[in-house]
Structure 1
Amino acid sequence: MYNPEIESASNQEMKVLQLNGLKKTVTNVYGNVEFYRQKFDELQIKPEDICSLEDIKKLPFTKKKDFRDQYPYGLFAIPIEEVTRIHGSSGTSGKPTIVGYSETDLKNWGVLVARAIVAAGGKKSDVFHNAYGYGLFTGGLGLHQGADELGVATIPISGGNTERQITIINDLQPRGICGTPSYVLSIVEKMEELGMDPRKTNLEYGIFGAEAWSEGMRQKLESKLDIKAVDIYGLSEIMGPGVAIECHEVQDGLHIADDHFFVEVIDPDTLEPVADGETGELVFTSLQKEALPIIRYRTGDIASITREKCKCGRTTTRMSRVKGRTDDMIIVRGVNVFPSEIERELLQIDGLAPVYQIQLIRKGVMDAIELHIEVDCTIYDQVGGDLSHESIVLMKRKIQHQLKNACLISVDVVLNAPKTLPRSEGKATRIVDRREPTAVSM
């Protein structure tokens, strides 16, 4: 462990740390953020009313819309001249969500990401290949911050230029790699295309996140690269990567940094808390942030939590892998399904490449799903490139049958030749909405 005293603290010790942090944060936002002061006053809440962790339920929720409404600096608790760094979302659907960090925030962030790298199997002597994008997005610089804190030799290659990535991996022999799972899988595909064996690299562990990915995707990455693949979690609004991380020893839930964040899970419709182990929307409150403290932020991410001690020895709260987002759940003919659930089933079927796109279409007055998938090179060569071949037709039927049984959805399956669906150097585009005149990618 990077910090055993914190990561294996008793439940009572952690509650004391959390309550002190919560009181400090509530006082900070009430005194320095007009947005929160107004919210508190509307609810007739004062900082002194927060006397226990249970009192957090008295506080208002914060939503992504609030960041947009307070753009750019309305949620900051310190003057801009005291802000050390600014990050933000991609802003693909409008202006970016802007977040700021004080010098102390950056130091804390680095420590939490260093803790995450160690949990993933990293150590100070490593060479670390950082294939997350650098820029406003928190992924690249966030992992870099933690790698610097840990003292590893970081390769800041960012995303893109896949053949150069491969050269660097082969020549500099990093032990660890990080990036979006879909992009690292693209690196693997390119290695195989060039006649290389991805299992022959020096890589031993990978830290993947920034998009929902299934257990099947993990197995694919681990088998293709001969590594331990762990899931990392974070949102820019909360801090960035490092809010939670799987341990390489067990890979059974992501350990939340309880000393910096208080987590709740709520029913997204009723806004009431759900029991530990039940799935709901993750809500986070920051406990240590100075520049942009956040109160009960509704992440939109669907998961569950457990407070049981992990076999690795850590006692921190663990969250499940993110099942999906409230805003990417597909509802077709009364059935709810997340892309990650479809992915899980697809990756169990032999002969398919781990690349797919869900297209939402209209059939008459009814919504429908058109699922585009690639066959792998071996199957494609076996049928001589004939996608109308009987074996391809049988594969389509198998996919439809499996999705009907497991996800309760009926889909139109379109099998494509290898390397024909779009690849991404960042987050993969999994859903394309073709039901309107202008398609919307998600």
Structure 2
Amino acid sequence: MERYYQPEIETASQEQIRAWQDERLVKQVKHVWDNVPYYRKKMEEKGLTPDDIKGVDDLHKLPFVTKADLREAYPYGLVAKPLKDCVRIQSTSGTTGKRVVAFYTQHDIDLWEDCCARAIVAAGGTNEDVCQVSYGYGLFTGGPGLNGGSHKVGCLTIPTSSGNTERQIMFIRDLNATILCCTPSYAAYLGESMKEMGLTPDQIPLKAGIFGAEAWSEEMRQDIQNTLGIKAYDIYGLTELSGPGVAFECSAQSGMHINEDHFIAEIIDPDTGEVLPEGSQGELVFTSITKEAFPLLRYRTRDICVLSHEPCPCGRTHVKMTKPRGRTDDMLIIRGVNVFPSQIETVLLNHGYPANYQIIVDRVKSTDTLDVQVEMTPEMFTDNLGEISRRQKELVDGLRSMLGLAAKVTLVAPKSIVRSEGKAVRVIDKRKI
């Protein structure tokens, strides 16, 4: 029996969802025109006024907003409410350029927590559950978002934050945590650590996990589910839009429902900016229609995915997005070939390797090199050089088949690649491009 946090919204008719979007978009465009000079200038440059936007059908007329705009307008240039009405900031964990700082009114936080509560209930959460939030707290949105959502559902919330794996496992076992929220790479590490302690899935009280903030493959999901004995759910969000909970997976585990009463999604051609028909793969663009303090219109996420309105067995009617299939900006171009880390991960997991690896890209004598360092499991670990050489060749062949180019593969000892408690550092690009 499927449960919903806000059934009247989550199962609303397409007509009702569209009516909310039309009304809220018109109101939001007026709000940013009146309160954000940066936006007003962008609209004026396209010859637009708020009167030109009568509903979702006119959305394509509005200018895009990119991360470059956020950096240019930093820190207060896109804030649409007086600072006395703002109660919090969150910030990206990005490592390049100026950080993105997003602002929230109390109303913004309430709506964001509702979105996260929907995700927890979709993963089977109730007020009987113990929810361990092992995302980072502080400026990163993961911890605060799921923490607030867990409170709204009425779960007993354990705000462990990330790190201190020993303590994480102690609380999971001692407090009988049933829902785990963290990055997928950290969930895999927790599972690996518990396995080493001799714990079997039926000795781990967890029943569900809500994992996001980094790309992960279907193979990695199966791996985590088998090790922890749980059902693993994906969650999607960006600090720029609020944080986790923009979209979330239901029991069908076949894509994430976008909270369309708060966000309008479009798929565009990343090169031309043209809106593509439903079912097309392209870049995901979001417009936030209920945010007060930091409303973004047509924000280019750089995530590549597909949208679908196919009826979902869970009964939710909001559009679904596929798991991002890579990004337009962290896609690697190696010797003219587009390479996504997720493709490499799929090959490794299909060959039975844990999802702990590092991709090192360099340029030697004007030619790109691709070196994939892969951890062996303790069972695979051997000093038989012939066996290691055979395994490496197997992966080289698998990667050539998947990517269409040659990669060097180096098998390394178990636990020799540094573990990440936040987002895993998968790619090191040493090229001076």
Q: Could you tell me how far 1:91 is from its partner in structure 2?
A: 4.5
**Which sections of structure 1, spanning at least 5 residues, go unmatched?**
438-442
Identical aligned pairs, as a percentage?
A: 48
- Name the SS of the counterpart of 1:234 in structure 2: strand
Deviations along 1:169-193, whole A, 9 cap, x unmatched? Answer: 1101111001000011111222223
Question: 1-side partners of 2:242 and 2:170: how far apart?
Answer: 32
For 1:265, the equivalent position in structure 2 comes to 267
Q: Provide the C-alpha distance between the structure 2 equivalents of 1:346 and 1:276, rounded to a whole number of angstroms.
A: 32
Q: Deviations over 1:40-72 (max 9, x none)?
A: 111111111111312001101001111111111
* 1:76 aligned residue: 79
1:200-238 deviation digits (Å, cap 9, x = unpaired): 211000000000110011011001111000100000001
2:370 aligned with 1:374, yes or no?
no
- Structure 2 partner of 1:431: 427
Residue 406 of structure 1 corresponds to which residue in structure 2? 402
Q: Distance in 2 between matches of 1:18 and 1:144?
A: 28
Offset of residue 11 of structure 1:
1.1
In 1, Cα distance between the equivalents of 2:351 and 2:290?
46
Q: Is the 8 A contact 1:77 1:290 kept in 2?
A: yes
Q: Distance in 2 between matches of 1:219 and 1:410?
A: 28
How far has the Cα of 1:199 moved from its partner?
4.4
Contact 2:60 / 2:275 at 8 angstroms: preserved in 1? no
Corresponding residue for residue 143 of structure 2: 140
CA distance in 2, matches of 1:216, 1:90: 26
Q: Hey, what does 2:361 align to over in structure 1?
A: 360
Contact 2:21 2:55 in 1 (8 A): no
Structure 1 residue 403: deviation in Å? Answer: 1.3
What TM-score, normalized by structure 2, do the two folds share?
Answer: 0.97
Does the CA contact (< 8 Å) of 2:264 and 2:287 recur in 1? yes
- Which is further off, 174-183 or 43-52? 43-52
1:120, 1:245 within 8 Å by CA — same for their partners in 2?
no
User: Is 1:54–2:53 an aligned residue pair?
Assistant: no
- Code of the aligned partner of 1:343: E
Shift of the alpha carbon at 1:398? Answer: 1.1
Which residue pairs with 2:210 in the alignment? 207
Q: Secondary structure at the match of 2:354?
A: strand
Residue 97 in 1 paired to residue 93 in 2?
no
Report if aligned partners of 2:192, 2:227 keep a CA contact under 8 Å in 1: no
CA displacement 1:86-128 (0-9 Å, x = unmatched):
1111242233111011111111111111111111221121100
The residue number in structure 2 matching 1:87 is: 90
The answer to whether the Cα contact below 8 Å between 2:23 and 2:55 also exists between their aligned partners in 1 is: no
Q: Deviations over 1:130-172 (max 9, x none)?
A: 0000010100001111111111110000000111111111101
- Say if 2:212 and 2:236, in contact at 8 Å, map to a contact too: yes
Residue 428 of structure 2: SS of its match in structure 1?
A: strand
Which residue does 1:326 correspond to in 2?
Answer: 328
Give 1:11-22 correspondences, 5 Å limit. Answer: 11-22=14-25
Matched, 1:106 2:109: yes
How far residue 276 of structure 1 moved from its aligned partner, in angstroms, is: 1.6
| 180-189 or 124-133, which deviates more | 180-189
Name the CA distance, whole Å, in 2 between partners of 1:396 and 1:268.
36
d(CA) in 2 for partners of 1:435 and 1:407?
19
Runs of 4+ in 1 over 6 A off after TM superposition: none
Please give the secondary structure, in 1, of the residue aligned with 2:355: strand
Tell me if the contact between 2:33 and 2:39 (Cα under 8 Å) persists in the aligned partners: yes
| Alpha-carbon distance between aligned partners in 1 of 2:281 and 2:405, rounded to the nearest angstrom | 21
Please give the secondary structure, in 1, of the residue aligned with 2:287. strand
Distance 2:288 2:83 in 1: 20
Q: Is the 8 A contact 1:188 1:198 kept in 2?
A: no
Partners of 1:229 and 1:196 in 2: CA distance: 19
1:5-44 to structure 2, matched below 5 A, reads 5-44=8-47
Counterpart residue identity of residue 356, structure 1: Y
Which residue identity lines up with residue 422 of structure 1 in the other structure? V
Alignment-mate amino acid for residue 411 of structure 1: A
Indicate whether 1:419 and 2:415 are aligned.
yes
Deviations 1:271-317 (A, max 9, x none): 11222222111100011111111100001111110012211111110
> Cα offset for 1:396?
0.9
Opposite residue 328 of structure 2, the aligned amino acid is T
Identify the residue that residue 397 of structure 1 maps to in structure 2.
Answer: 393
2:386 partner amino acid: E
Which position in structure 2 is the counterpart of 1:286?
288
Task: Show the counterpart of 1:440.
Answer: none
Question: What amino acid is aligned across from residue 192 of structure 2 in structure 1?
Answer: E
